[in-house]
Amino acid sequence: MRVRIRRKRPDSWAIRKRTITRAWTTPFWAFEWFCEYTAYLLNNWSFLEVLEYLSSFGVIIAVVFYFAESGDRIKQKHYQAWQVINTAQGKGGSGGRIEALQELNKDGIPLVGVDVSGAFLQGIHLAHAHLVRSNFSAADLRDSDLAFVDLSDSDLQTANLRQSNLHNADLERAKLIEADLWGADLSGADLSGATLNHADLRNTNLEDFKWREIANLKEANVFGVRNAPEGFVAYALKHGAVQIEADSR
């Protein structure tokens, strides 16, 4: 808070002039006295004090409007993120989609039906994202964090999910045809109704995952799967899966 100190009225010029001992300094002393008197007059001008209060009040108003408009700024940020995603649809590369998707998910925005087919999204963090009926076909999702994600009814055909975290992911009825899941963590994931024909499941962590209602495992490679539930490998081989150590692609 600014404290105003009232200035003392300066002596008149006639009195001040009598204190000058050297005549040649008179113009300088006259200028000094003029400035001093002007400062005194302005200091005692109530209008300037009012302006100071208005300035402080203006800062308060600006702060209030800043917070009042925060909702609009968030909406604008989300609109821009969706614009980035939609503009790059069908194109390769990232195109800013990693940041856009992460920002929307961070703010709790559902990403239902998003189409990022063919996009380079390596290392993306979308844990707990709501991605029902999304299209990630041919997308590069290596080393991504997709834990607890809802990808039910989504298209993940030929997607690269190598070493990605899909812990407790909902992959019900998802299309994982020819998907590369080498070394991925599918522990606790629900693959009920999912199609996994020709998928690469080598070295995947299958601990406690739901597999009994998988729709298709034909030609899926289950070589070296880790922590597989009892009976899964036998079931998979019986339904057309294979065990091939070398990369046949």
Residue 239's CATH number: 2.160.20.80
User: How large is the average pLDDT for residues 229-235?
Assistant: 96
Question: Average per-residue pLDDT in the chain?
Answer: 87
> Of 68, 85, 102, at which residue does a domain stop?
68
| pLDDT reading at 10 higher than 60 | yes
Query: Is 64 inside any structural domain?
Result: yes
Specify whether 222 is located in the same domain as 129. yes
Query: Is 173 inside any structural domain?
Result: yes
Using CA atoms, how far residue 67 sits from 36, 112, 158, in Å, is 43, 30, 46
Cα angle vertex 85, ends 171, 168, to 5°? 20
User: How large is the average pLDDT for residues 206-233?
Assistant: 97
- According to the model, what pLDDT value does residue 81 have? 92
- Number of folded domains that form the chain: 2
Query: Is 8 inside any structural domain?
Result: no
In this prediction, residue 112 has a pLDDT band, given cuts at 50, 70 and 90, of very high
Distance in angstroms (rounded) separating the CA atoms of residues 223 and 26: 102
Q: What is the CA radius of gyration of the chain?
A: 36
Which is more confidently placed, 36 or 65? Answer: 36
Specify whether 138 is located in the same domain as 233. yes
In this prediction, residue 248 has a pLDDT band, given cuts at 50, 70 and 90, of very low
Range of the domain at 42: 13-68
Contact, 100 vs 82, CB < 8 A?
A: yes
Distance in angstroms (rounded) separating the CA atoms of residues 125 and 188: 19
- According to the model, what pLDDT value does residue 249 have? 44
Query: Is 96 inside any structural domain?
Result: no
Query: Is 85 inside any structural domain?
Result: no
Specify whether 20 is located in the same domain as 122. no
Which is more confidently placed, 94 or 83? Answer: 83
